[in-house]
């Protein structure tokens, strides 16, 4: 097996707040291989967006990251300025809100070429040519004239395509997509997902796809990381997660997915009762135990990590009931 493109070991993100330190990410580890799609799944507030920002070293100033290991193609990204040099060139990111992610004051073309000129160099004309090429690649017609337009002249779906094209200008090896389709309607969502899949095949791109929507995950993931309250509760291949979920939280989430044929129209989808525990201060034992139907007294004690092969989960149980 070749070395992973991205390797994350014991990554933590802490935020100082007035009422104490908030541990948004609590020591998570995972690998991403070249060309694969890793989905990070969890409810809002579970730390998945913080994880993605920590990888890019884009955390807000109040947040501090730490890790025992964070390497991209063998380079130690915890060393100062390493992530800064890699981002926008070998690793790129797209965001949830295409409506606000582009600067209203500059044209699409200007925003697309500026990072390319900075990282790759060359003439402006060559960069503009490449931008037009990339717009065509993401399915935007009359690319040349689009380059002269401002963000407000484009629809949300088009803007997200522009974001993708812009992210791929420098042929990055890793694309981090933080809920890229959440703000879009369902048809556009499907188009964007297909586009990402196609581009991945064509460019050998590794993708970290962050979402709360397990339905999306089942359509695009090679491997899945399930996060809850800042920690990884289960990790495995898409098949393992969907066919043999082991952690009660994953089971509960999967119950929430409507399945064509299986779920009756208007049927009540499974919802998980209770709320996510506070992320301030330390957490003893399983963080999910208050909402878990199977919890026992022993769940308040440190939780073992079980598993075999590529499939791991953090629960006292060998297999979910």
Kindly list the residues in this chain that would bind other proteins in the complex (CB under 8 A). Answer: 56, 58, 84-89, 92-93, 95, 97, 100-106, 114-115, 118-119, 150, 152-153, 163, 166-167
Query: Least CB distance from residue 110 to other proteins, whole Å?
Result: 10
Query: Least CB distance from residue 107 to other proteins, whole Å?
Result: 8
Query: Least CB distance from residue 19 to other proteins, whole Å?
Result: 11
Residue 86 or 226: which CB sits closer to other proteins? Answer: 86
**Which residues touch 199 (CB under 8 Å, ≥6 apart)?**
137, 138, 164, 168, 205
Query: Least CB distance from residue 142 to other proteins, whole Å?
Result: 19
Check residue 157 and give left, alpha or beta (phi > 0: left; psi -120 to 50: alpha).
alpha
With the C-alpha atoms ordered 38, 74, 57, 191, is the resulting torsion angle positive or negative? Answer: negative
Query: Least CB distance from residue 177 to other proteins, whole Å?
Result: 12
* 185-199: burial string, b at 16+ Cβ within 10 Å, e else: eeebbebbbebbeeb
Residue 176 or 238: which CB sits closer to other proteins? Answer: 176
Return d(Cα 232, Cα 38) in angstroms, integer. 13
SS3 content of the chain, % helix, strand, coil (to 5): 30, 25, 45
Pairing mode, if any, of strands 305-308 and 311-314? antiparallel
Query: Least CB distance from residue 105 to other proteins, whole Å?
Result: 5
With the C-alpha atoms ordered 186, 188, 189, 195, is the resulting torsion angle positive or negative? Answer: positive
CB atoms within 10 A of CB 77: 26
Q: How many helices (H) and strands (E) in the chain?
A: 10, 13
* 46-70: burial string, b at 16+ Cβ within 10 Å, e else: bbbbbbbbbbbbebeeebebebeeb
Residue 105 or 186: which CB sits closer to other proteins? Answer: 105
Residue 69 β-bridge partners? 9
Query: Least CB distance from residue 118 to other proteins, whole Å?
Result: 6
Residue 94 or 241: which CB sits closer to other proteins? Answer: 94
- Tokens for 81? 């300025």
Residue 72 or 288: which CB sits closer to other proteins? Answer: 72
Residue 93 or 238: which CB sits closer to other proteins? Answer: 93
Residue 101 or 206: which CB sits closer to other proteins? Answer: 101
């Amino acid at each position: 097996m070749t070395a992973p493109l991205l390797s994350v070991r014991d990554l933590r993100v802490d935020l100082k707040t007035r009422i104490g330190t908030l541990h948004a990410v609590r020591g998570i580890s995972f690998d991403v291989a070249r060309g694969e799609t890793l989905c990070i799944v969890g409810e809002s507030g579970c730390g998945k967006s913080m994880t993605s920002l920590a990888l890019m070293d884009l955390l807000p100033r109040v947040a501090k990251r730490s890790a025992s290991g964070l390497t991209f193609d063998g380079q130690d990204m915890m060393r100062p300025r390493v992530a800064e040099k890699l981002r926008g060139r070998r690793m790129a990111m797209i965001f949830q809100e295409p409506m606000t992610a582009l600067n209203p004051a500059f044209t699409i073309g200007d925003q697309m070429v500026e990072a390319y000129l900075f990282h790759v160099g060359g003439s402006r004309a060559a960069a503009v040519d490449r931008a037009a090429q990339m717009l065509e690649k993401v399915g935007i017609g009359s690319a040349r004239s689009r380059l002269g337009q401002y963000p407000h002249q484009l629809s949300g779906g088009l803007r997200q395509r522009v974001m993708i094209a812009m992210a791929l200008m420098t042929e990055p090896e890793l694309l981090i997509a933080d809920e890229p389709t959440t703000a879009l309607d369902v048809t556009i969502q499907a188009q964007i997902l297909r586009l990402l899949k196609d581009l991945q095949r064509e460019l050998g791109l590794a993708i970290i796809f962050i979402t709360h929507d397990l339905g999306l995950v089942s359509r695009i993931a090679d491997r899945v990381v399930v996060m809850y309250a800042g920690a990884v509760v289960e990790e495995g291949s898409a098949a393992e997660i969907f066919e043999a979920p082991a952690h009660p939280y994953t089971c509960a989430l999967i119950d929430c997915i409507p399945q064509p044929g299986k779920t009756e129209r208007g049927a009540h989808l499974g919802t998980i009762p209770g709320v996510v525990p506070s992320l301030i201060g330390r957490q003893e034992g399983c963080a999910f135990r208050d909402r878990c139907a199977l919890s026992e007294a022993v769940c308040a004690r440190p939780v073992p990590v079980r598993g075999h092969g590529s499939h791991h989960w953090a629960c006292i149980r060998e297999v979910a009931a």
